């Protein structure tokens, strides 16, 4: 049999890979996907989407426990059914996996299930359901994603020590949970299990939680989570972690240098990710990598002709929406190289990529923090507006949070926006569009925001930066 031949092979079908394949099909390229596990990758099956389903259940539980404040009476005990909560999350993931399967068929994209290895430029050997087969293509996009990083002295066992994947399908409900790491993944699971009734302790090596966020956001979130019953320990490290049939024992080194031994029922390790770049042929082909991270140019091309890379195997931020956009850039660059004169790919400005954390309250941001803006030499002006000053927030019973904007004081350029509160992950795109379009403060000021909405706080925050705030 002749080996299957394509214009493009995409190795990995996560939010970068499957989007790249669809865009390739739209541009008339014959495309194939190689996937070793589930179409949709980690994000769709074990990450972004099913975690949001879990968090939605926790949010519903939170609102039910406060029904009386909305004039509603609930009879009987309100308690979660962990099995059903997890079952709903898995059903959501399954539905979306089926949706990606449909999209592959709709766009006539060949799917090869199995593990793929690059044996030469333009050659991918797949070991899977059809045995071994070799695929050929003019171009290959590597989109193999990443996996959770283990503690070197305490690898996750799935019983007492968990990664995010174990935490999504827990064998039992934790009673006292240790969360190691306070990035988006750690804080989201801390928030979920806290709402579900566990006693949660978060340990962070740096001096504040969600350390990539603006310092004022970090401080507000720590205050809010503490008020909800969590224990937050910053500038704190894990010296040792041991699990047995009864739980987990952690040696925790605090700010004062003293080491305390504490016991928990379970621990979640959320200390970062490791790119899946081993054993797929990249090193043998001479692809440039630094600590396993593939180096690319602005159009996602590696140093080896015909091989591009996108998503979590490339430099951060490691976000699903970044991977998707990189997939489109990579494909359009390939299509242009193959003679398509209708596409005009350009490098992505990473400063315009928003970040979202779906804890309670939510956190969202885009661009530079106030400290970073000052560090790089901007004379800044900032504006803040609290949720308590917004009519819609008060009506919703969601008055915890604020919106902060950072502008260049001389030019009015929007340098960054930072939010904490209800539904801010849905609001941040307004500022993201503004940054992409290079809007200045006066553009936002002259924009009419609908009333009553949470989005009015975005307007008020800009007005506050100009000394013109109305409702506080």
The two three-digit tokens of residue 30, written as one number = 């014959």
Distances (CA, A) of 134 to 123, 131, 137, 286: 7, 10, 10, 20
Q: Are 333 and 345 in contact (CB under 8 A)?
A: yes
Helix (H) or strand (E) holding 42: helix 41-46
Distance of CA 157 to the CA centre of its chain: 24
* Residue showing tokens 């699971």: 189
Q: Is 355 helix (H, G, I), strand (E, B) or coil?
A: strand
* Spatial distance between the Cα atoms of 160 and 243, rounded to a whole number of angstroms: 6
Rounded Cα distance between 39 and 45, Å, is 8
How far is Cα of residue 452 from the mean position of the Cα atoms in its chain? 30
Using DSSP's 3-state secondary structure scheme, residue 186 falls into: helix
Residue bearing tokens 């092979």: 9
Q: Mark whether 451 is an active-site residue.
A: yes
> How many Å apart are CA 414 and CA 392, to the nearest integer?
25
Q: What angle do CA 231, 234, 236 make, to 5 degrees?
A: 105
Nearest to 279 by CA among 101, 382, 142, 416: 142
Q: Of the residues 63, 66, 102, 451, which is catalytic?
A: 451
Q: Are 61 and 191 in contact (CB under 8 A)?
A: no
Token output for 309: 């890379």
How far, rounded to the nearest angstrom, does the alpha carbon of residue 326 sit from its chain's CA centroid?
A: 15
φ, ψ dihedrals at 384, nearest 5°:
-135, 145
Whether 234 and 204 have beta carbons less than 8 Å apart is answered as: yes
Catalytic machinery residues: 451
């Amino acid at each position: 049999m002749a080996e299957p031949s394509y214009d493009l092979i995409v190795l990995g079908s996560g939010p970068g890979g499957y989007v790249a394949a669809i865009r390739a099909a739209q541009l008339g390229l014959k495309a194939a996907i190689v996937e070793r596990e589930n179409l949709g990758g980690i994000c769709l099956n074990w990450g972004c989407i099913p975690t949001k389903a879990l968090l939605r259940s926790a949010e519903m539980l939170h609102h039910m426990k406060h029904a009386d404040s909305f004039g509603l009476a609930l009879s009987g005990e309100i308690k979660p059914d962990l099995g059903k909560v997890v079952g709903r999350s898995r059903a959501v993931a399954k539905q979306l996996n089926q949706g990606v399967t449909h999209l592959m068929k709709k766009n006539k994209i060949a799917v090869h299930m199995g593990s793929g290895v690059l044996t030469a430029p333009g050659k991918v050997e797949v070991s899977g359901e059809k045995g071994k087969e070799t695929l050929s293509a003019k171009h290959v996009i590597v989109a193999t994603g990443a996996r959770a990083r283990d503690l070197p002295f305490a690898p996750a066992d799935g019983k007492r020590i968990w990664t995010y994947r174990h935490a999504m399908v827990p064998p039992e409900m934790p009673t006292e949970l240790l969360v190691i790491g306070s990035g988006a993944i750690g804080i989201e699971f801390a928030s979920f299990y806290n709402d579900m009734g566990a006693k949660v302790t978060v340990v962070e090596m740096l001096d504040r939680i969600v350390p990539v966020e603006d310092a004022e956001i970090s401080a507000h979130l720590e205050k809010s989570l503490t008020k909800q019953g969590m224990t937050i320990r910053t500038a704190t490290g894990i010296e040792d972690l041991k699990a047995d049939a009864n739980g987990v024992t952690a040696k925790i080194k605090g700010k004062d240098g003293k080491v305390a031994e504490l016991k928990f029922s379970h621990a979640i390790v959320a200390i970062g990710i490791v790119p899946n770049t081993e054993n797929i042929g990249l090193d043998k082909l001479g692809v440039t990598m630094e600590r396993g991270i593939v180096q690319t140019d602005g159009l996602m091309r590696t140093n080896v002709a015909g091989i591009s890379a996108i998503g979590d195997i490339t430099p951060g931020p490691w976000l699903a929406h970044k991977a998707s956009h990189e997939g489109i850039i990579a494909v359009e660059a390939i299509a242009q190289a193959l003679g398509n004169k209708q596409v005009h790919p350009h490098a992505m400005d990473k400063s315009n990529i928003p970040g979202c954390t779906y804890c309670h309250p939510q956190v969202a941001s885009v661009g530079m923090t106030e400290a970073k803006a000052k560090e790089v030499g901007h004379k800044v002006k900032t504006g803040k507006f609290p949720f308590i000053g917004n009519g819609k927030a008060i009506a919703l019973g969601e008055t915890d949070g604020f919106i902060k904007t950072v502008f260049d004081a001389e030019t009015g350029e929007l340098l960054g926006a930072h939010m904490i509160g209800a539904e801010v992950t849905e609001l941040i795109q307004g500022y993201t569009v503004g940054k992409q379009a290079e809007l200045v403060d006066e553009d936002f000021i002259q924009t009419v925001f609908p009333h009553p909405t949470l989005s009015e706080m975005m307007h008020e925050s800009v007005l506050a930066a100009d000394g013109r705030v109305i409702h506080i």
